[in-house]
Structure 1
Amino acid sequence: MEIPSYKYVYLVGVGGIGMSALARYFNHQGFKVAGYDRTETELTRALASEGVDVHYDDSISLIPSDFRSNPADTLVIYTPAIPSDHSELNYLIANGFKVIKRSVALGVIAASKRTLGVAGTHGKTTTSTLLSHLLVEALGGVNAFLGGIAKNYSTNLLLSKNDVLVAEADEFDRSFLQLFPNAAVITSTDADHLDIYGSHEAVLRSFADFINQIKPGGALVLKQGVEVPLENKEIAVYRYSIDKGGDYHAENIVRNSNGTYTFDIVTPKTRIEACTLGVPGWINVENAIAAVALALTVTDDTEALKRALASFGGVKRRFDFYINTPTLTFLDDYAHHPEELRASISSVKAMFPNRKVCGIFQPHLYTRTRDFAEGFAQSLSLLDEVILLDIYPARELPIEGVTSQIIFEKITASNKVLITKSELLDVLSKREIDVLMTVGAGDIDKLVEPIADMLKNRYSIK
């Protein structure tokens, strides 16, 4: 498929984080870009301000007329999160438009680049964003399609004149099988998206297929302890960890007073001494090791990598601190799988070992809640206090008997409460807060600013 042959690009689900990056890419490339999304958000407003025509009602008449009247010149991209009865999408399919998934579009763009893929059931977004920041410093620029908003750049899309591209390789809907990277990292292969895969074995098979698509002469950087079939004999395989050995790992790790860490990075060829990561959290040290390992496949400028580690500002909604004082801390994190949740909570507990941590968790999807209720409860039980909200359904219809209650009843923490989202601010206003974290992939993010404002006013923090 030759994308330059089109004049118009229409995106169904344009407000998604991956879709919005594509919208920005095509807009920058000079295409006329428009799209539909169900909900107006900060991201869709940003797209509109950049010249993308966005509407919020599923109405064929709202598709711009020059798009509708030129099927041969219009490329349609959709996200698999769009329901099958969506009238706009069905109209476009029925009327001869070229209609492709988001992953196919990314695969076409990546095919002409030197692609570095970041895969894994969790850790992808922070690792790929950090990798991109490293390469901006080391190479003077990079192309990157990110699954979050990089705080250093206030965007999820980076563009450069060089041919290196960083792509978040998403296992959802087997999207990453559209990528044929020159090198890749895999951070984790936990069971997830079982509504798509059916079993953990099928998840592992898909990761094995992704590895098989790494180009001959390329490299795979695999987290120590992750077991996945390694059938590609044409690539080099490296292991990484924080402090459990492997080809890439950290030594001399010191926790700083602000929750960040200073450490040496040991590689097969060298040691990068006294690196300080600009964002706090033990889990981010692990992400940094993975990002540096992949960066070293395209650069040997270790001093630039060290500078970039220190200046990394993080990703919005990934271990994102809004308040961090000796007596009050509030952060937000996107964790929505039991292992992500465990890693996030454990990192916070390690940062603040003598403080009381309260977590607000919004489960994401009925199927994920059903499949992992026990795991969610175990991870949440690491908290001192648990505030559990109702399930955010996203693309799913309710499943009989599946509510947040099936997680709640398994949580062993003695201080726990199950409430609705509308009750949250009132409940928090009556509690003494020490360390507070909001966690989840749904619309809990809309409560983050109100919570931060309430806490700042209550505790007189400027």
Structure 2
Amino acid sequence: MNLEKVNKVYFLGIGGIGMSAIARYFMQKNIPVYGYDKTASPLTQKLVEEGAEIIYQDDIELLPIGLTKENDILYIFTPAIPQNNVIFQYFKKENIRLYKRSEILGLLSQQYKCIGIAGTHGKTTVSSMTAHLLHSSSIGCQAFLGGILKDHESNLLTHETSQWMVVEADEYDRSFLQLHPHIGLITAMDADHLDIYSNHSQLQNTFKEYAKQVDNDGQVIIHYQLKEHFSDFTNTKTYSLDNPSSDIYASNIQLKQGLYHFDLVHPEGRIEDLRLNMPGMINLENAIAASALAIESGVKGEEIRKALANFGGVKRRMELVIKNEKLSYYDDYAHHPEEIKAALSSLKKLYPEKKMTVVFQPHLFSRTQDFQDGFAQSLSIADEIILLDIYPAREEPIPGVTSQIILDKISKQHKQLLRKEKLISTLKNMDLELLVTLGAGDIDRFVEPIKNELS
């Protein structure tokens, strides 16, 4: 597909965070965008405001007239679309070439020097920080992000002349193997997506395949703990939070009025007195990864210092929703035991005297089954735990796999399983001090109602 010749684009699953960034890209080029999604959301409503035409019924009668008969139309689908989707089956019956989102990102990335951020945790935060650092500098970038940058109210950044493109390199469905980055970063390779990969070792080997696709004259940057997996690579640099044995790390870390101040040590020298406005050591480590990518792409130290201090964060990434004398409320996308552990541990350190109440919506039956022990252990960091029913996404139920299997293993006494419909009224009647909502499903739909009820 020659993207320069495209005159219309149709998205199956346009409301996904990754799909919507590509939709915005084409709309900015004044190319008509159409799409289907299962339900309306704030994101689809925003896309409609920006010019997209979207339907929410799986009905071919609602497709734009002549859509399948015209040339130079690009059809993009998300792997989250079920195989029995009527529109999906219609396009296949018409022998229409359907492109995965990852294939289009791969085609787009060929037009730029690509920075691909991979890893089982932290992709969105590191990608967003990296995009912000480049966008705020003389370098600039195009960026396709998996989260909404609060400063820009968008998951897409564009630049007229920049040669750089920042993109999340997603391991799900081996999507990142469509990319051939100039700089590739890997944050973590913990077990995940075992519905796609037969075991943890296969997942790790696929990350190595991704690293091999980095340009010969490019750079692979990996977390220091992954060093042994890449011992046969010659073009690697390592980063860590504060390990002096790594190539890029923080020193002189200080917490002042809830903000991190630190120096960044890297192979070419040191950038002193950087400041980060996001809570949690995990986000400090994410900032080090993003700074490493910025340095590698030519951003100057003074530009990094200024931009990092101005970074407003990403929606649903340790997002502070309410803060007053009585209550602090954070919302986070964490949906893996290690992510939950990092988020809750960070907040415990930030608010050691506050009682922590966590609402968690498990994502996928397979993930719940695979990591039930890890979920229970991580959630037990909290003082009170509310579990919602599993968000199925693309999956059919697995017999015997419900949120109850996590609840039974949580060590804390104050725990309950709750239907979504009762969440707001339950929270309203609780004595809340530190509230955290977690999950990758539709729990985000409750953030504004919770905010309105508890503010």
TM-score when normalising by structure 2:
0.97
Inter-partner Cα distance in structure 1 for 2:343 and 2:300:
31
Query: 1:51 aligns to what?
Result: 51
User: What is aligned with 1:16?
Assistant: 16
- Does the Cα contact within 8 Å between 1:133 and 1:308 map onto a contact in 2? yes
Give the corresponding residue for 1:190.
Answer: 190
Tell me, yes or no, if the aligned pair for 2:109 and 2:179 is still in contact at 8 Å: yes
- Verify the 8 A CA contact 1:319 1:344 in the aligned structure 2: yes
Query: For residue 459 of structure 1, what is the aligned residue in structure 2?
Result: none
- Corresponding residue SS for 2:230: coil
Q: CA deviation at 1:310?
A: 0.4
2:170 maps to which residue? Answer: 170
Per-residue deviation at 1:426? 2.0
| Residues in 1 aligned to 2:253 and 2:325: alpha-carbon distance in whole angstroms | 22
| Inter-CA distance 2–228: structure 2 relative to 1 (3 Å threshold) | farther
SS of equivalent to 1:264: strand
Stretch moving more, 241-250 or 402-411? 241-250
Deviates more, 1:322-331 or 1:210-219: 322-331
- Tell me if structure 1 keeps the 8 A contact 2:227–2:238: no
The match for 2:358 is: 359
Listed one character per residue, the Cα deviations across residues 422-449 of structure 1 (whole Å, up to 9, x for unaligned) are: 1212221222111110000111111111
Contact 1:115 1:180 in 2 (8 A): yes
**Structure 2 letter corresponding to 1:127:** V
1:292 corresponds in structure 2 to: 291
8 Å CA contact 2:151–2:312 kept in 1: the answer is: yes
Aligned equivalents of 2:59 and 2:331: distance in 1?
A: 35
The answer to which of 140-149 and 422-431 deviates more is 422-431
- Superposed, 1:58-457 pairs within 5 Å as 58-70=58-70, 72-139=71-138, 141-161=140-160, 162-226=162-226, 229-230=229-230, 233=233, 236-245=235-244, 246-257=246-257, 259-456=258-455
Question: In 2, distance between residues paired with 1:137 and 1:5?
Answer: 31
In the TM superposition, residue 140 of structure 1 has moved relative to its aligned partner by 5.4
Distance of aligned partners of 1:159 and 1:273 in 2 relative to their CA distance in 1, 3 Å threshold: same
Distance of aligned partners of 1:36 and 1:327 in 2 relative to their CA distance in 1, 3 Å threshold: same
Paired with 1:80 and 1:185, the residues of 2 have a C-alpha distance of 24
**Alpha-carbon distance between aligned partners in 1 of 2:271 and 2:353, rounded to the nearest angstrom:** 32
Cα distance between partner residues in 2 of 1:381 and 1:273: 38
Q: Deviations over 1:242-292 (max 9, x none)?
A: 1223111111111122x3211111111111111111222221101000000
Contact 2:388–2:417 at 8 Å: present in 1 too?
yes
Cα distance in structure 1, aligned partners of 2:132 and 2:29: 22
Structure 2 counterpart of 1:417, which letter?
Q
CA contact under 8 A between 1:388 and 1:417: conserved in structure 2? yes
Amino acid paired to 1:56: Y
CA apart distance, 1:151 = 0.5
Report Cα offsets for 1:84-122 as digits up to 9, x if no partner: 111111211221322110000010000111000110111
Q: Distance in 1 between matches of 2:358 and 2:227?
A: 31
Deviation track 1:376-396 (CA, whole Å, cap 9, x = no partner) reads 001001111111111111111
Deviation at 1:300, TM superposition (A): 4.1
- SS of the residue corresponding to residue 421 of structure 2 reads helix
Mapped to 1, the partners of 2:321 and 2:404 lie a distance apart of 29
Q: State how far apart, in whole Å, the 2-side matches of 1:264 and 1:385 are.
A: 37
State TM-score, norm by structure 1.
0.95
Alpha carbons 1:212, 1:231 under 8 Å: kept: no
Identify if the C-alpha distance between structure 1 residues 243 and 99 changes in structure 2 by more than 3 Å, giving closer, same or farther. Answer: same
CA distance in 2, matches of 1:261, 1:327: 24
CA distance in structure 1 between the partners assigned to 2:232 and 2:216 by the alignment: 8
Deviation, structure 1 residue 324: 2.2
Q: Which amino acid aligns with 1:270?
A: G
Letter of the structure 1 residue corresponding to residue 401 of structure 2: V
* Structure 1 residue 30 displacement after superposition: 2.7
Equivalent in the alignment of 1:39: 39
CA distance in 2, matches of 1:139, 1:119: 25
Structure 2 counterpart of 1:184, one-letter code: G
Tell whether the 8 Å contact from 2:208 to 2:230 is kept in structure 1 after alignment.
Answer: yes
State whether residues 282 and 350 of structure 1, in contact with CA within 8 Å, keep that contact through their aligned partners in structure 2: no
Q: Which sits farther off after the overlay, 422-431 or 377-386? A: 422-431
Runs of 4+ in 1 over 4 A off after TM superposition: none
CA distance in 1, matches of 2:255, 2:353: 15
Q: Once the two structures are aligned, what percentage of the paired residues are identical?
A: 46
Contact preservation (8 Å) 1:377, 1:407: yes
The number of aligned residues is 453
